[in-house]
Amino acid sequence: MGSPDFAVPCLRALAARHDVALVVSQPDKPAGRGSQLTAPAVKVAALELGLPIAQPKSARTGELRDALVATDAELAVVVAYGKILPLPVLTALPRGCINVHGSLLPRYRGAAPVQWSVINGDAETGVSIMQLDEGMDTGPVLLERRTPIDPDETSGELMARLAPIGAAALLEAIDGLAAGTLPPLQQDHAKATHARMLDKSDGAIDFAQSAHLVAARIRGVDPWPGAQASLRGQVVKLFRARASTASPASPATDVVAPGTAVPNTIVAPSTVVAPGTVVAIDAAGVHIATSDGAIVVREIQAPGRKRLAAQQFAAGRGIAVGDVLAKPATEAR
């Protein structure tokens, strides 16, 4: 059971090693500018593999439970299915349901564990294989695999990297369950944190935070909802940010031509500037002051325009030293 791209490597790995009796994904949904009805990534992969597919609208009507029972399968695997499963579904098969979750449980239970691990600036994350129960990612952990988070990694890149790690861990967990060598480890519920689903307002960048957290937020909301800041009366998107080792300073010069070598800090570090102020532009990108330092943004996109290298965006006079980027107004959650 699964729907998005993250679940596809698990499906392909299972199909290569085990008999997959049924693939369950969410119904096709409108997507894109034309709102064309689009199949989930898992359904597309299942069709390529020639596997039977079910797309129940609800997990609570009995349709899903009956479909699972009819397969005579032993075990259900759930990977980013996107629905809470009731007890009749969880117990429909002899070995129940196991889940591939993109965090080191009990940290980041919920819908967006990968995004929040990046947003919070974590140095490490991983994948947990757990036995599902009626709670929100509260079941016992069977196996986990850890991996560092690269300082420049976006949540989209991290999710793509975790997906095959999860597929390999899933196969190992199934082998362990079959051999009886994989004892479940109960989670420490007192250490649990929640990773709620992101909404559009999470992309609004507040430069009054620390450089570490501002840069992490920009990477964590990439690709969705995208990092946004107000600049010269319009909302631009920011990409590829990292904390700078240079001290922020007041503007003393304007944008330079692409390829021109300029220092990261362009006035005396003793000068205090407001968070969001552009303090330098060089080959590394646009340097923007934060509460305790600065970040470097490597790519910027204006509304209706293509995404550009920050220095190229500045060369077209889209941004200059001394400009101030602000947190845009957003709708309430």
pLDDT at 266 (0 to 100): 45
pLDDT at 329 (0 to 100): 84
Residue showing tokens 């060598």: 181
Confidence of residue 316 (pLDDT cuts 50, 70, 90): very high
pLDDT at 34 (0 to 100): 78
Q: How many CB atoms lie within 10 A of CB 131?
A: 18
Q: What is the pTM of this model?
A: 0.90
End-to-end C-alpha distance for the chain, whole angstroms: 29
326 secondary structure, DSSP code: B
CB 2 within 8 A of CB 10: yes
**Is 141 a member of any domain?**
yes
Render pLDDT for 179-220 as a digit per residue (tens, 0 to 9): 999 999 999 999 999 999 999 999 999 999 999 999 999 999
Render pLDDT for 223-265 as a digit per residue (tens, 0 to 9): 999 999 999 999 999 999 999 866 544 443 343 333 333 333 4
CATH number of the domain to which 230 belongs: 3.10.25.10
Q: Which domain holds residue 279?
A: 200-315
Task: Note if the bond before 94 is cis, omega within 30 degrees.
Answer: no
79 secondary structure, DSSP code: B
Residues 190 and 204 placed together within one structural domain of the fold: no
Query: Mean pLDDT, to the nearest integer, of 110-116?
Result: 97
CATH number of the domain to which 86 belongs: 3.40.50.170
Residues 28 and 134 placed together within one structural domain of the fold: yes
The structural domain count of the chain equals 2
Print the SS3 string covering 223-267: CCCCEEEEECCEEEEEEEEEECCCCCCCCCCCCCCCCCCCCCCCC
**Is 322 a member of any domain?**
no
Query: Mean pLDDT, to the nearest integer, of 274-296?
Result: 96
pLDDT at 263 (0 to 100): 39
Q: How many CB atoms lie within 10 A of CB 15?
A: 17
Residues 142 and 213 placed together within one structural domain of the fold: no
Residues 217 and 279 placed together within one structural domain of the fold: yes
* Distances from the Cα of 295 to the Cα of 230, 287, 288, angstroms: 16, 6, 5
- Nearest to 225, CA basis, from 214, 242, 238, 212: 238
Q: How far apart are CA 89 and CA 76, in angstroms?
A: 9
Residues 233 and 91 placed together within one structural domain of the fold: no
